[in-house]
Amino acid sequence: MRALSNSLSSISLPALALAITLSAGPASSQTTHGAATDRTTAASERPRDDLAGKLVRRVIQRAPSSIPSREIVQVETEIPPGVESGWHVHPGEEVGYIIAGKVEMQVQGRPTVILQAGDGFLIPPRTPHNARDLGPETGRMLSTYLVEQGEPIATFVHQHADKAAH
């Protein structure tokens, strides 16, 4: 928390006000589970999120990036024990942090790793990956995406041979 407050002190007041305005806090945040929709953007602007049918995902905030044609989306994801995300890609970088649980992370072209609360991970743009909660508790992760505007946040891809190599 100290690192967060130190980093907030270097943010300009207008930028902080914009971030708070665009932020979807607990009362107005969007949870996607099954057919739930993203209430943080207008229906015509809503990017599809293929993972929303398998996992519980809550958009914490979404805002335009300083990089043209990119947006920043921050999502908290819950993965029940034994459930996996399925092989998928994002149209940009994913910077993630395991909040709770034990998650097996498979990223195409990399060795499989086991991540636990406090571990971070980085996934390059459009790189197929899969996350599986190893239990016994529900896995929770916080991911920040720097993605192309208007693209689906997550898109399923066919299972990869790398999965058999773990």
Give the tens place of pLDDT for each residue, 53-67: 778 999 999 999 999
Distance CA 148, CA 109 (A): 23
Q: Residue 93 — pLDDT band, cuts 50, 70, 90?
A: very high
What helix, strand, coil percent values describe the chain, rounded to 5? 15, 40, 40
Length of the chain: 166
Distance CA 139, CA 97 (A): 11
Q: Would you state the pLDDT for residue 51?
A: 74
For 109-137, letters b (16+ CB in 10 Å) and e give eeeeeebeeeeebebeeebbbbbbbbeee
Q: Please, what is the average pLDDT of the chain? A: 77
> pTM score, two decimals?
0.68
Q: Would you state the pLDDT for residue 54?
A: 74
Span of 38-47, 108-117, 141-150 with lowest mean pLDDT:
38-47
Longest dimension (CA), the chain: 50
Q: Would you state the pLDDT for residue 27?
A: 33
The one-letter amino acid at 71: E
Q: Would you state the pLDDT for residue 164?
A: 40
